[in-house]
């Protein structure tokens, strides 16, 4: 296949982009109902592949599609091939902001941070996959990578075969709005001291499609408690910086050489108080 980014802009009469399409690895800034987001066709662990993939914003929804084969990995032992996603804020690994003025922000100053997502995902051949949201908590607000002393916090709403890394260290219960109904939900909590400290919350009743609304601050506060019990490297968590909120699907395992899957995000909203 031909590498590179093909970016198509269909411009409305008001000169705002209506449709943005990525057909290979790359990213583009979009406005989803005036919400500044960056969408990224992110195959971070794939060296090469054959087949078709695209990530598209049509003004009303973001859609992803992949039918790829002959996958060659950069790190063959990794359980994740990539993370096609959208994000709000500053992503350290990309050294890029979607255009959000108040992020990064110190953890101690983080307001109630409500994220709403309407989504559906599909896949074939029992593909290892999840639907996961995440943030990076860093020691400085302008980092371009993360390392010891930084923190990754993930929130998994769906998974098939793929499981969080590290070890289960507890459970967490909080109220989440699911399809418009406030619902008490229980999550397994995982922790790993890798190159950075990793915490993942995996919901007990996975949702392959639906509309969910969470207060991110609930998960950040629980993560702080986990770090106080298990981390030896994170200091002054409240003084660290909350950078970004990412939403996407991790996929693959060391034996995955082909993947056919996709998703639709038909509602994305963020509110702070």
- Look at residue 184 and tell me whether its pLDDT is greater than 60: yes
Whether 39 and 30 have beta carbons less than 8 Å apart is answered as yes
User: Could you read off the pLDDT of 198-239 as tens digits, one per residue?
Assistant: 999 999 999 999 999 999 999 999 999 999 999 999 999 999
Confidence of residue 5 (pLDDT cuts 50, 70, 90): very low
Q: Token pair for residue 4?
A: 């590179």
**Distances in Å between the alpha carbon of 49 and those of 7, 88, 250, 263?**
20, 28, 17, 20
In a domain, 3, yes or no: no
In a domain, 1, yes or no: no
Mean pLDDT of 151-165: 98
In a domain, 2, yes or no: no
pLDDT of residue 159: 98
- Look at residue 13 and tell me whether its pLDDT is greater than 50: no
In a domain, 81, yes or no: yes
In a domain, 261, yes or no: yes
User: Could you read off the pLDDT of 21-61 as tens digits, one per residue?
Assistant: 999 999 999 999 999 999 999 999 999 999 999 999 999 99
Confidence of residue 17 (pLDDT cuts 50, 70, 90): low
User: Could you read off the pLDDT of 132-146 as tens digits, one per residue?
Assistant: 999 999 999 999 999
Give the domain range for residue 184.
Answer: 8-272
Q: What is the pTM of this model?
A: 0.93
Number of domains in the chain: 1
In a domain, 235, yes or no: yes
Measured in Å, how far apart are the chain's first and last C-alpha atoms? 47
pLDDT of residue 18: 74
Confidence of residue 272 (pLDDT cuts 50, 70, 90): very high
pLDDT of residue 59: 95
CATH of the domain at 248: 2.60.120.180
Residues 6+ apart with CB under 8 A from 92: 136, 138, 143, 144, 145, 146, 243, 244
Confidence of residue 16 (pLDDT cuts 50, 70, 90): very low
Q: Token pair for residue 259?
A: 């993947």
- Look at residue 64 and tell me whether its pLDDT is greater than 50: yes
């Amino acid at each position: 296949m031909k590498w590179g980014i093909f970016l198509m802009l269909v411009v409305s009469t008001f000169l705002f982009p209506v449709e943005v399409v990525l057909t290979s690895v790359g990213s583009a800034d979009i406005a989803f109902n005036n919400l500044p987001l960056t969408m990224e066709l992110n195959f971070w662990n794939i060296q090469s592949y054959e087949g078709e993939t695209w990530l598209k914003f049509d003004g009303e929804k973001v859609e992803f599609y992949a039918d790829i084969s002959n996958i060659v990995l950069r790190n063959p032992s990794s359980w994740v091939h990539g993370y096609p996603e959208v994000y709000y804020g500053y992503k350290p690994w990309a050294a890029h902001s979607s255009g959000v003025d108040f992020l990064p922000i110190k953890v101690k100053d983080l307001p109630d941070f409500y994220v709403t997502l309407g989504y559906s995902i599909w896949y074939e051949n029992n593909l290892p996959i999840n639907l996961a949201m995440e943030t990076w908590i860093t020691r400085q607000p302008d980092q371009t990578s993360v390392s010891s002393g930084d923190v990754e916090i993930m929130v998994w709403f769906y998974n098939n075969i793929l499981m969080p890394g590290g070890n289960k260290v507890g459970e967490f219960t909080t109220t989440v709005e699911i399809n418009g109904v406030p619902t008490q939900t229980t999550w397994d909590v995982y922790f790993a001291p890798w190159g950075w400290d990793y915490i993942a919350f995996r919901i007990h009743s996975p949702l392959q499609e639906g509309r969910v609304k969470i207060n991110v601050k609930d998960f950040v506060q629980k993560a702080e408690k986990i770090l106080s019990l298990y981390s030896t490297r994170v200091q002054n968590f409240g003084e660290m910086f909350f950078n970004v909120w990412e939403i996407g699907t991790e996929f693959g395992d060391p034996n995955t050489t082909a993947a056919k899957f996709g998703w639709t995000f038909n509602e994305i909203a963020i509110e702070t108080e």
